[in-house]
Amino acid sequence: MFDSIIRFFKNPYYILFTAIGIIYLAFMQIDVMDVDAAQYASISREMLETGNYLHVYHRGEDYLDKPPLLFWLASASMQVFGINNFGYKFPAFLVLLLALFSTYHFTKYWYNQRSALLAAAILGTTHGFYLMTNDVRTDGLLTGFVIFAVWQISVFIHEKKYINLFLGSLGVAAAMLAKGPFGIVIVAIAIGSDLLLKRKWSDIFRWQWILMLLTIAVVLAPMTYGLYTQFDMHPEKTVYGLQGPSGVRFFYWTQSFGRITGEIYWNNHAGFFFFFHSILLDFLPWILFFIPALVYKFYQLWKIRFKAEPQQEFLTMGGFVLGFLMLSMSNYKLPHYIFSLFPFAAILTAVFLHEHFTSYAKWAVIWRKVQNGVLFILYVAIFMLFAFAFQNNWLVILVPIGLFVVFVYSLINTKDELHKTVLPTLITAVALGFVFSMHVYPNMLQYQSSSVVGREILKMNIPPDKFMWLNTESNSLDFYARRIVPEANSDSLPIYPSGTYIFATQKDMEEMLQVQKLDYKIVKSYPHFSVSKFNIKFLNAATRSKVLRTNYLLVKN
Q: What is the 3-state secondary structure (H, E, C) of 221-290?
A: HHHHHHHHHHHHCCCCCEECCEECCCHHHHHHHHHHHHHHHCCCCCCCCCCCCHHHHHHHHHCCCCHHHH
The pLDDT, as a whole number, for residue 177 is 95
The pLDDT, as a whole number, for residue 374 is 94
The pLDDT, as a whole number, for residue 392 is 66
Return per-residue pLDDT of the chain as tens, 557 residues.
445 545 544 567 778 888 899 999 999 999 999 888 999 999 999 999 999 999 999 998 889 888 999 999 999 999 999 999 999 999 999 999 999 999 999 999 999 999 999 999 999 999 999 999 998 999 999 999 999 999 999 999 999 999 999 999 999 999 999 988 989 999 999 999 999 898 888 888 989 999 999 999 999 999 999 999 998 888 888 877 777 888 888 888 877 766 665 566 566 666 788 888 899 999 999 999 999 999 999 988 888 887 877 788 889 999 999 999 988 887 777 888 899 999 999 999 999 999 888 766 788 888 888 999 999 999 999 998 888 888 767 778 888 999 999 899 888 888 878 888 899 999 999 999 999 999 999 999 999 999 999 999 999 999 988 999 998 878 999 999 999 999 998 889 999 999 999 999 999 999 999 998 898 999 999 999 988 888 889 988 889 989 999 999 999 98
* Side-chain half-sphere CA neighbours of 96 within 13 A: 32
The pLDDT, as a whole number, for residue 116 is 94
Report the C-alpha gap between 223 and 242 in whole angstroms. 20
Closest CA to 166 of 205, 224, 219, 230: 219
The pLDDT, as a whole number, for residue 288 is 94
At residue 28, what are phi and psi to the nearest 5 degrees? Answer: -70, -15
DSSP of 406-424: HHHHHHHH--SHHHHHHHH
Report the C-alpha gap between 155 and 174 in whole angstroms. 19
Instruction: Measure CA of the first residue to CA of the last residue in the chain; give whole Å.
Output: 66
Q: Model's pTM, two decimal places? A: 0.92
Q: Given CA atoms 343, 345, 346, 348 in this order, what sign does their dihedral have? A: positive
Q: How far is CA 194 from CA 203, 227, 318, 503, 520, in A?
A: 11, 35, 7, 56, 68
Kindly give, in sequence order, each residue whose CB lies less than 8 Å from that of residue 127, ignoring residues fewer than 6 positions away: 281, 282, 283, 284, 285, 432
Closest CA to 17 of 436, 433, 442: 433
From the centroid of its chain, how far is CA 206?
34
Give the containing element (helix H, strand E) for 62.
strand 61-62
The pLDDT, as a whole number, for residue 235 is 84
The pLDDT, as a whole number, for residue 8 is 47
| Neighbour count for residue 443 (Cβ, 10 Å) | 16
Name beta bridge partners: 503: 469, 553
Kindly give, in sequence order, each residue whose CB lies less than 8 Å from that of residue 92, ignoring residues fewer than 6 positions away: 70, 73, 74, 132, 133, 136, 140, 141
